[in-house]
Each structure stands twice: as structure tokens, then as C-alpha cells.
Structure 1
Amino acid sequence: MRTEIDFTIMEFKKDWSLAYFLYYICQIGIWLTIINAVIMISLNSTRYISEDGTYLIHSVPVILNIDGLDGLDDIETDNVNINIYNTLKANVGIRANFQDHLPAFLFYNGLKAYSTILVLVVLYFFAKVLRNVAEGNPFDITNSKYLYIIGWTLFLTSALNVFMRFLPLPLLDSLSLPDGYEFSSLQGFDDFMLIGIFIIVLGYVFKEGSRIYEEQKLTV
């Protein structure tokens, strides 16, 4: 008895493009960010408040001042001049009593939530732009709005980095560190100011393109 098996070959869509690829990458990035946030909350929820009333916060990004590096600011060799700065980026873990240090708990976890929300906002609106482009609507008026949102989000986030350096550090400011070490400030987010300005300008270009496209449709 002979059995015939038909094999179905999966083919990409005919309109498959780089825009579709980037769109799905953004979608994956959104879900990975959400899943990572959920996993971190579920893993840390049991550690936030233990039986003795203490909580634990992981990986608080800070900048340390190290006075011991002052003597190494300038190292000169043959045709080489090396400058070593007396600051160090580090991550610290904080364990404290929940009742006595509730503001610190809310402050540091609020910063983590803030960074997660920023990533989701950028990925979400960038995915909407890419979807319009992939579906053949690059001059949709909503594209310029989405690009404005992305650009201003990146620009304002970078601007806030300056103010973050002047924020007080709950619990950390009161710690007694070894001589020569001092907590300077929180680490700001990566500087995306120039990228933000570029995307704002790109949003303006899309807006003008949409206007010209609509005018051409009316003349036809």
C-alpha cells in the first residue's frame, strides 16, 4: 500500500520587507521587556519584605568618587598621555527595614519602573510607525505624531539626566564608606539627546511628506 504525503512549503509574504522585520523585532522587544519586568517583580516580591521586616533592592546604578585615583589623573609615556578620572560606575544592593525606610523603597523602585516605561513607550510607537510603512502607508499623518513622541521622549529623558545627578540618594548618602570613597550621584540613562533631535526632525519630514502626498492626491 502506497501512501503519498504532500509537503507544504512555507513561503514568506510577497510584501515582506525590512520594515516588517523591524516591526516584529519591536514587538518581540516589547514582550521581552514586559516579561522581564514581570519575572523581576515575581522573583523579588518575596524578597522585598522578609519575615524580619526588611526589603532588598538589586542593582541600583550609582557613580562613586574615588580620591585614591587623584594621583593617576595624568600618565605620560612616549607619545602617550592617559587621563584617569576619579569616578567609577557601580551597581549596589540595598537592604533596609521596610517601615523605617519606605521612601527609599519607593524611590529606587520608582526609578526601575520609570526606565521600563521609557523603553516600552519608544518600542511601542516605533512599532506603529514601522507597521504603517510596511503596510504601504509611509505618508500616514500619524507617523509624524509617533515620531514626535519618540523624539521628545528621548530628548527629555536625556535632559533629565542632568537633574538626576543632583538628586539625593536615600540611605546611600548616610552611609559611612571607607576613606576615599563617596557616592556621587545616580547613573543617568544613556544620552540619546542627539538621536531624539534627529527623530523630531524626521517627524517633521514625514509631516511635510504627508502634506505633499495629500496635495498630489487632490490634484489628481
Structure 2
Amino acid sequence: MGFSHEIITEIDNIWQANLNHPFVQEIGAGTLPVKKFKYYMIQDYVYLKDYAKMFALGALKSTDLATITQFSKILHATLTEEMALHRQYAARFNISEEALSSAEPAPTTLAYTNYLLSVAQSGGQAELLAALLPCMWGYEAIGKSLVHSPGAKHALYGEWIAMYSSSDFGSLTEWLMQKFDTITAQQTSTQRVHLTTIFKNALRYEVLFWKMAYQEKKWDV
């Protein structure tokens, strides 16, 4: 068992909270109020603009061409496929691309992306991967868990589930996991504790992001 799965086993309570949040479960049931999904879609687009930078930093921190190429591939997929789905949803909600791109981050969105970028810029590739993995891995797991749900046939939510349950998204996630497991195979227990903390914090932010979207949380002042 690689280190990535050791972490998940250790923090299973947070992992389950992420997979089973009411926002996620109601997408699967096809019962999530559309206004909550609209709010989420806008904030997730704001999030992805900074999340994409993580893959650029991954390429920057790589020393071999194969790894640089793979990070670039994931960056391209994020910008041209994942974010394209968000733009398609925005069009259905009569939100212009300009309005979508200029949307203000909510408090949790801002805190989460600032945390990710801080870890990625100050740490090495292992730290960057520990921060990256909870989002992609969590979405892949959620997509697969909902692929046979009523939501998979929903007129609005079906495309979202299809994106994150796709084999293409799964293969990109699997590469990140394997890269992380390879890098961490020879690390000390102290280093592993440090990386577990990063992973745990990023996963907590994933849960907080669902909560924010479910509550349509905005700035208080």
C-alpha cells in the first residue's frame, strides 16, 4: 500500500465527510437545488483558476521531461476540459464568460487557494502533491460513486458526474497518486507526518468548500 492510501486510512473520517457531504449526495440523488449548484459552479471556476497554477508549479519543480510533460497535460486538461464544462454551465445560467472570470472568491475559496499556493511555492514536489491530491482524488472517488446514481441521468448534474467519473480524469488522478507514492517511498517518519498534515488540511478545505456551496456562504461585510 502506497503512502497516499496510508494517509486516507489514517484520516478516513475526513475522507468520508468529503464523499458523503449533503451537497454531493443531493447531486447523486438529483435533488440539489439549482441555485446551490449555480453558486458552487461560479466559486469552483474561481478556485480552478488558482488550482491550475499548481500544475504549472509542479512542472516548474520537476527535473525530468516526462514529469514536466505530465503536469503540463493535467494543466491543459484543467483549462480546456474541466473549466470548459463550467463555462458551459455558466452559459446555461445566462452568465457571461466575463462575469464568470471576474467573480469574487468567497471566504473559503480564497482561504483554500491561498493555502494551496503557499504550500506549493514554499515546499518541494512532495508538498505540492500532498496539497493537490485531495481535490482530484476526492472528485474522482465522488464521480465513481455517483456514476450509477439517479443524478447521472439528471439533465443538469449528469454532465458533472460524467466528467469526474471518466477514465481520462481517473488516469490523470492515478498518475498523481503514483508520483506521490514514488516520491514519498523513502522519506522519514518526520517528513511523512509533515505531508500528512498538508494532505489533511487540503482535504478539510474540500469539506469546507462543499459546506460553503451548500450554504451559499458569502462575505459577511
Larger relative contact order (Cα-Cα within 8 Å, sequence gap ≥ 6): 2
TM-score (norm 2): 0.27
TM-score (norm 1): 0.27
Pair member with larger Rg: 1
Larger helix percent: 2
